[in-house]
Chains A and B, each alone.
Chain A
Amino acid sequence: MQSTHEATMREQFGATVTELLERDPRTALVLADIGTAQFAGAARAHPDRVVNVGIREQLLIGAAGGLALTGLRPIAHTFASFLVERPFEQVKLDLVHQGVGAVLVSAAGSYDWPAGGRTHMAPGDVALLDTLPGWHVHVPGHPAEADLLLRHAVAADDTLQYVRLSEHRNAEAQPVAPGRFLTVRQGTRTAGTVLAVGPMLDAVLEATGTLDVTVLYAATVRPFDAAGLRAALGERADVVLVEPYLAGTSERAAHRALAELPHRVLSLGVPQAEHRHYGSVPEHLAAYGLDAAGLHARIAEYLW
């Protein structure tokens, strides 16, 4: 955590989308009472393209679908629980089935508000989207990456894009390219490979500082950069996935990427079981084994 205030991903989202609304008359923003304060100016400037439907998440997605049917590029935003889980059938039918595109931008996906408890946690959001065709999924690890990925997502014609913002972040931004895994640390030819997704990178780097591993970084997980993963392998196809949402979400994609090779995959992430504790983000990461110490223990055991 930084001592001086830098923009959070959500604050960056406000600045980026306000600018996009100003520049591109095709963009429209739909809100459901969450995040309205930072778009007050944009709503005054573009009352027809900044719409707050109230606490109505089925309508949030349905209205986004309708906006897209008229040719606009809708951006819909709320907490992941209410953006993906609650109106999941609207995501399936009002967007995918209608054949229209949209940008869904979530906050508070997994453990951002531990004191809020289970009702405000949606670690299964990416796994749910995996049941539907066509979704691009971005998991930025830094506000600057969020800025880049949001611009990419909005500009990507009429595609389906999901951008998962979090309070959990890395200290430094990586030079990400949408859809490509980035090699952050190169191991020897006999090293295993750890794929860190979004905000998990700093803990992975700390956890593996004394281990001979290649560390890949993914700020975009769908489509899954199978070629990038294969290219990073040395002589061993032993892969550890570290994801800030439901453990195992990308396991199938990793197995598919490595289908022609003898390989092993260990999937680390948020456990499926409900964790009925409150407290802070660091406490939850430690409890899930996703802090540096927990990751070190599991990665070292698996790759040795």
Chain B
Amino acid sequence: MTSDTTEARGATRTGGRVGYGDLPGLIALMAGDEKHSPAAHSTLDALWVLYDRVLDVGPGTADAPERDRFLLSKGHGPMAYYAVLAAKGFFPVELLRSFGAYDSPLGHHPDRLLVPGAEIGSGSLGHGLPLAVGTTLGLRAQGLDGPAVWVLVGDAEFDEGSNHEAVAFAGAVGLERLHTVVIDNSSATHGWRGGIAARFAAEGWSTATVDGRDHEQLYRAFTAPHPGRPHAVVARTEPKYG
């Protein structure tokens, strides 16, 4: 990491391109901690690779019917998400300083009616996957076969039974445009014997398990073909409290 808070601010001031190296500085605007490490944000790398290289959506297409959809289901700890949205220009970087304040659009859980670029409001766990299933169905019903629907869940969030309703249904009907990235930082209290990917594979999903810090591995997994099936990428990171 070469950047710091000052550099991130500078990038915004000059309208220059904000990169991955600027994200810790952006997060520091919210966390108030200049030394905040990206390792504290298990979702950061997956989010960055998605928004930087995979998703076909940006500030200019945030309401376009043909845009790709990214649904942050794991709404806890949204600083990495806000930092990436700001870096990609969905809202001004300066807004990050207001994180959690009374009049801020940036709460400790995202609200889609307040955060530019946020497809759903989340925070209560286990809502994103069912919403993503409905979103995928709705796009298909309107002949919008192009957009991909992505949803990010956590391995502990996966405890919630609503996820399993969605995983089983999506696999059974072959919702090809549905994609799930599971951030697995081993935070589920009782773990997932045999791995999380096995739960998706058993329901007919295409799956990949990769190093959640390795951008090339993430990119390859995110863009792997999966004809006729939904696709799940399990991104493993260091244990939450390890």
Contact = CB atoms under 8 A, between A and B. Distances in A.
Contact of B124 (A30, A49, A70, A89): A89
A1 B41 CA distance: 64
Interface string B94-137: 00000000000000000111000001110010110111111111
A67 interface: yes
A23 to B, nearest CB: 15
Contacts of A65: 130-131, 134
Contacts of B14: none
Contact of A99 (B65, B113, B133, B172): B113
B121 A66 contact: no
A66 B162 contact: no
Contacts of A277: none
Contacts of B121: 93, 97-98
Contacts of B138: 28, 66-72
B135 A70 contact: yes
Nearest to B133: A63
Interface residues of A, number: 31
A51 B172 CA distance: 12
A25 to B, nearest CB: 8
B139 interface: yes
B169 interface: yes
Given A93-B124, A94-B130, A66 B165 contact: no
A260 interface: no
A274 B119 CA distance: 42
Contacts of A59: 130, 133, 162, 165-166, 169
A89 B129 CA distance: 15
B1 interface: no
Interface string A64-91: 1111111110100000000000000110
B139 A98 contact: no
B195 interface: no
A67 B65 CA distance: 13
B142 interface: yes
Interface size class of chain B, counting residues whose CB lies under 8 Å from the partner chain: 20 to 34
A30 B112 CA distance: 24
Interface in A47-66: 48-49, 51, 53-54, 56, 58-59, 61-66
B141 A28 contact: yes
A74 B141 CA distance: 12
B161 interface: yes
B140 interface: yes
Contacts of B130: 58-59, 61-63, 65-66, 90, 94
Nearest to B130: A62
Contacts of A72: 138, 141-142
A277 B126 CA distance: 37
B162 A49 contact: no
Question: In this complex, which of B65, B112, B162, B168 has the most chain A Cβ atoms within 10 angstroms of its Cβ?
Answer: B162
Contact of B134 (A49, A66, A89): A66
A172 to B, nearest CB: 39
Contacts of A70: 65, 134-135, 138-139, 141-142, 144
Given A28-B138, A71-B138, A66 B169 contact: no
A68 B141 CA distance: 12
Interface in B63-120: 65, 111-113, 119-120
A212 to B, nearest CB: 51
Given A54-B168, A69-B135, A70-B65, 19 more contacts: A51-B137, A54-B172, A56-B168, A56-B169, A58-B165, A59-B162, A59-B165, A66-B133, A66-B134, A68-B134, A68-B138, A69-B138, A70-B138, A70-B139, A70-B142, A70-B144, A89-B124, A90-B127, A94-B127
15 contacts: A25-B142, A54-B168, A58-B161, A58-B165, A59-B130, A62-B129, A63-B134, A65-B131, A67-B134, A67-B141, A68-B138, A70-B135, A70-B144, A94-B130, A97-B111
Give 9 nearest A-B pairs by CB, closest first. Answer: A66-B134, A62-B130, A70-B138, A63-B134, A56-B165, A48-B141, A66-B135, A59-B165, A58-B162
